[in-house]
Amino acid sequence: PTMAHSKALLVLENFIGGKFVPCSSYIDSYNPSTGDVYCRVPDSGKEEVEAAVKAAKDAFPIWSSKSPLERSHILNKLADLIEHDLEAFAQAESKDQGKTITFARTVDIPRAVHNFRFFASSILHHVTECTEMPTMGCVHYTSRAPVGVAGLISPWNLPLYLLTWKIAPAIACGNTVVAKPSEMTSVTAWMMCKLLEKAGVPPGVVNVVFGAGAKAGEALVCHPDVPLISFTGSTLTAWRITEKSAPHCKRLSLELGGKNPAIIFDDADLSQCIPTTVRSSFANQGEICLCTSRIFVQRGIYSEFLKKFVAEAKKWKTGNPSDPTMDVGALISKEHLEKVRNYVKKAQAEGAKVLCGEGVDPLVLPPGNQKGYFMLPTVIAEVKDESCCMQEEIFGPVTCVVAFDTEEEVIKRANGVKYGLAATVWSGNVGRVHRVAHRLQSGLVWTNCWLVRDLNLPFGGMKASGIGREGAKDSYEFFTEVKTITIKH
């Protein structure tokens, strides 16, 4: 009985109107580091989404009429409760997603906590506009109100981190929500639901419906009573969401994929640049939308850079994600691992050189992880700009390194992809970093650093990387409806 119990699957339930409700069918969820099914996720559809939207609609009048300060207290309480259980959340995120326990402990869960604290604070500090028109005897001002039921759809790479980045501003502004996390990583969202009542979140304010994108996600997108969809995921899914929401003229925020360049000039401080660029390429198995996957190095330092970069990449340890000494865990799924590996094969077929990682170095795994979805950090060189490895989002531990000669040339090449999410520029020349940053088609540009974020400022992509921005002011504007009122005195 003990064995049977320890092998029992974790079964999740939807959270609707403040209650956990079972579903009639389920989807298997895998532990990426072992390849075993360990969890069952509700396979929700129209019916479940309908119930969740109704609960959210019913909760809206009371929640939206609370003062920002009251809502702020509740968000802070929720942050405290998640923080109190940080280790349990981190363990769950690592097991469910394949990421290292260290990454979950230091990035995912702390950021989820911070998302609630950040919006609990920022919601208290917005001011609206006012103008006077003395000749007409008029005063104009704007007022902002929550929109209604917000539909929130999030991906599998940073599960709780990205979901709370949407839930926190949505409810801080007074909306109620129906959230649909990725079917591959639903566990931490379900754990968060268990804390909502204790935090003081009234029933129906946060509803979570688990299930597949094409079924549960699409039902949410198509629901006439959900006027707003905040989506983070792939560009392909965003097309589908845009199409499906068009008949309802929904308000959309789309945070999509990237093919992010790092541009390294010959005056860069390589002692900073190399470890940071290894991190920006391989952190979270390269499964971050902001990860670097095209590294342009000025010709004069190209060989030196490549040698040091490969040596540094080889130091990254790949293996059991629950071992805190590991740098790289497992990829999300068998299919995704296959897709990422295929990119490396295609590059080789085109004549590119794989300098380390996949197919070059031995991948040694503990017995318990032999069936997991692991791959070593892989560096590809001598690859053409037109190659699919330089054009398409791989979303795995693979990065390409190429040489360039001039500033003008590298800007053009860096901009030569359909995406425009994040870029990094490495140079000691202040004038140059400003010039290059201004000309890059990219929603975010980091110079001489990576992933340093101030949540106050806009986050989002250009071109195929998205529409809309999120951040203190941007999320406030997205999650509220503005009205202009004119008073004649």
Q: Which residues bind ligand NAD (CB under 6 A)?
A: 153-157, 162, 180, 182-183, 212-214, 217-218, 221, 232-234, 237, 240-241, 255-258, 289, 393, 395, 421, 461, 466
- Identify the helix (H) or strand (E) that includes residue 151: strand 149-153
> In whole angstroms, how close is the CB of 157 to ligand NAD at the nearest point?
5
> In whole angstroms, how close is the CB of 335 to ligand NAD at the nearest point?
10
> In whole angstroms, how close is the CB of 225 to ligand NAD at the nearest point?
16
* CB nearer to ligand NAD: pick between 23 and 274: 23
* CB nearer to ligand NAD: pick between 189 and 297: 189
Which residues are marked as active site?
255
The residue written with tokens 């071109």 in the block is 463
Query: Which spans in 246-291 are helix H?
Result: 270-282
* CB nearer to ligand NAD: pick between 163 and 410: 163
CA 52 to mean position of chain CA atoms = 24
Dist CA 95 CA 33 (whole Å): 7
> In whole angstroms, how close is the CB of 452 to ligand NAD at the nearest point?
16
3-state secondary structure 73-95: HHHHHHHHHHHHCHHHHHHHHHH
Nearest-CB residue for ligand NAD: 213
Q: What is the dihedral of CA 21, 22, 24, 27, to 10 degrees?
A: 120
* CB nearer to ligand NAD: pick between 291 and 297: 291
> In whole angstroms, how close is the CB of 158 to ligand NAD at the nearest point?
6
From 171, 207, 192, select the one nearest 66 (Cα to Cα).
Answer: 171
CB 232 within 8 A of CB 288: no
Dist CA 387 CA 396 (whole Å): 17
Dist CA 83 CA 8 (whole Å): 27
**Residues in Cβ contact with 311 at an 8 Å cutoff, skipping those fewer than 6 apart:** none
* CB nearer to ligand NAD: pick between 49 and 410: 49
